[in-house]
Chain A
Amino acid sequence: MVEVFRHDVIIVGGGAAGLRAAIAVAEADPSLSCAVVSKVYPMRSHTVSAEGGAAAVARDDDSLEMHGYDTVKGSDFLGDQDVIQYFVEQAPRELSQLERWGCPFSRNEDGTVATRAFGGMTTKRTWYATDKIGFHMLHALFQTSMKFDSIVRYDEHFVSKLVLDGGQVRGVAALDIRTGDVKLILARAVIVTTGGGGKIFPFTTNGMIKTGDGMALAYRSGVALKDMEFVQYHPTGLPGTGILITEATRGEGGHLKNSEDERFLVEYDYGVGAKAELGPRDMISRAIVQEVRAGRGIAGPYGEFVHLDLTHLGKEVIESRLPFVVELSRIYIGVDPVTERIPVRPVVHYMMGGIDTDITAATDLPGLYAAGEVACVSLNGANRLGSNSLTECLVFGARAGEEAAQFVQGTDDGNASATQTQGEEEAARLDALRGRKQGGEKLSQIRRELNKSMEEGCGVYREQASMAATVREVANLRGRVSDLRLEDESRVFNTELIAALELANMVDVAEAVANSALQRKESRGAHTCEDHPTRDDQNYLYHTLCYFDPAGPRIEKKDVTLGIWEPEERKY
């Protein structure tokens, strides 16, 4: 018998968006019981690794209109403009709230929060905490959330299924990683805040846990994944490990140089104009790939790279504003940024695409909300500007929490035996999967093949032929992943079982990415198709919707909300 737990709102995922949503629910109505269900303890969420800063209008030389324009232009005009307007309005309020909750922002002389320059932003609006904003934001939110008795946590519980009844979400089935038992956690609203799925690629800034679980949950329940083809390659990751070297290094004045010691972004025309190293991420990643193709990359044991030169900034600036970068460079690549150049190359970092939501963070499945990287509102369109996503987690995490708190007042619990049956079936499915010795496929092997296929088909530069090959390979892997051979039969803390569930989720996400990429026959933002190198607003100014179908994913189109800024050529 599967044990049943009842709450009013469930939040899946305990990172910045999830914790902000939980606090929003608790503040909106302290009588609502809010469950935060996360497969890791919240302080391990991948928010923790974000480095550069979070954007919001702060200075007198800035305006909401400017922040909005930078964002819509950065998105290559695929961002929904009503969403962008709402976002820039809420951003200063949310970051100010975060400051009052204790986030230790770096300060100006007058005691106000300090801001730095960032890619694609016309002025300094990135609030920063040396270079560990994600860490400080996550801990401030997590510690603040402990204040509220109405927030109940299910730590190390893996949500493997959304429970539906009567066309509405009624809760989740979650595996208690500690005991191996499945719990049926019921609520009238579920907010998914599980982050992105960078681990479908072999080379990523993302941690082990970024396997797209929430995206897969929604996908398999009939909700569309939107704009999945847009995968952001961060220009400066360490070769080998893929560890993130923040854009703030360029915000503080760092230069990118090729093997001939040229600042290639200045020397050649890569579309970034005078912004040079502070251009948008998609353009800079393409520039680095072009430099390597032109033979001006530097060879190393983990492939070719370019140099990030901070040496001219001076020891004081580097050690006071970029101390984490110093630590990472020394430990993981053996380089001291004060005196040497850091080897860097583009690395998968963020997914602009995700669960299709509207401006209220609601999906078209009643009771289901999504916020943060897992969602596609769409704020970021075809390319995200750095430092917008942490603010996005706060703005839409809060919105999702407020909306869910209201939604649960006006709805009911659904049919108890229908939900119970789903819980029992899920428990049986997982029991059968655990330690499944009759399979023929090895988990790490499938993961490697998936990674390889995604890198080949969905890299910085894409071709129709290789995208099509990836679509076929992923479809093939979908069949193979259902025949895994698993060794670990234990019930207690079985991480192999979790890895198997994550791998299935990764295949779902990869399918959506590859199929969405194949049908977009233009180049826009982070999606660069060599067969169609220009942007085509005539035919492709729409959001891609990818729906799950056993016969193969179904693609539909959704209009982009325009009205404030006219789409124009994206030149910097």
Chain B
Amino acid sequence: MPARKASHPQAMAPSAPGRTRTAPPVQPGSWQTSRRMKQYSRFGMTGWVYLLASISAIEMVYALGSGPEAYERMQGVFGHPLMVLFHAISLFSVGYVVVRFFGLFPKAQPARIGPLKPPPGPVIAATLYGAWIGITLVLSAILAGGIF
């Protein structure tokens, strides 16, 4: 049997130690090859993208506060092909997470709140995507200087 990857050594551990010695918990063998778990790993990996995006956002704000030359330099960095590639990856990763989240969203609705029941799936999906795309368009217009 291929050695299974260990889970956290305290996974599902009882509050009082067991009366006999136990072997440590291991992860399911199928996790390495399962299509669903690979999707979940990719989903989790997008965290790196947010980390890097957050760092560059902080850098930009700092540059804003450090005078026009610093700001111009920052804009230059953003124009670099690698940065453009990073932005493309970020866009893809945000899209991936949002689509997955929107897909799970109907399941997270309570069956009812008082007399109110959630609207049917297509209505929820339309509202979510509509809001997302709408807000994106408005923000893009603002950033591009089209409005304000």
Contact = CB atoms under 8 A, between A and B. Distances in A.
Interface of A: 176, 178-179, 492
7 contacts: A176-B19, A178-B18, A178-B19, A178-B20, A179-B19, A179-B20, A492-B20
A224 to B, nearest CB: 37
Nearest to B20: A492
A178 B18 CA distance: 9
Contacts of A176: 19
A492 B20 CA distance: 8
Q: How large is the interface on B (under 10, 10 to 19, 20 to 34, 35 or more residues)?
A: under 10
Contacts of B18: 178
B20 to A, nearest CB: 5
Contacts of B20: 178-179, 492
A1 B20 CA distance: 18
Nearest to A179: B19
Contacts of B19: 176, 178-179
A491 to B, nearest CB: 8
Interface string B20-43: 100000000000000000000000
Nearest to A180: B20
A149 to B, nearest CB: 16
Nearest to A492: B20
Contacts of A179: 19-20
Contacts of A492: 20
A178 B20 CA distance: 7
Nearest to B21: A492
A492 to B, nearest CB: 5
B114 to A, nearest CB: 17
A176 B20 CA distance: 11
The 4 closest A-B pairs by CB, nearest first: A179-B19, A492-B20, A178-B19, A179-B20
Nearest to A176: B19
A391 B92 CA distance: 60
B59 to A, nearest CB: 54
A178 B17 CA distance: 13
Interface in B44-70: none
A179 B20 CA distance: 6
A179 B19 CA distance: 7
B32 to A, nearest CB: 29
A84 B66 CA distance: 91
A265 to B, nearest CB: 42
A232 B39 CA distance: 53
A158 to B, nearest CB: 15
A27 B12 CA distance: 32
Nearest to B18: A178
A483 B20 CA distance: 30
Contacts of A178: 18-20
A536 to B, nearest CB: 56
A407 to B, nearest CB: 32
B134 to A, nearest CB: 41
A506 B77 CA distance: 82
A464 B95 CA distance: 79
A179 B22 CA distance: 12
A336 to B, nearest CB: 28
A136 to B, nearest CB: 19
A88 B19 CA distance: 45
A444 B20 CA distance: 29
Interface string B91-123: 000000000000000000000000000000000
A298 B79 CA distance: 81
A443 B79 CA distance: 79
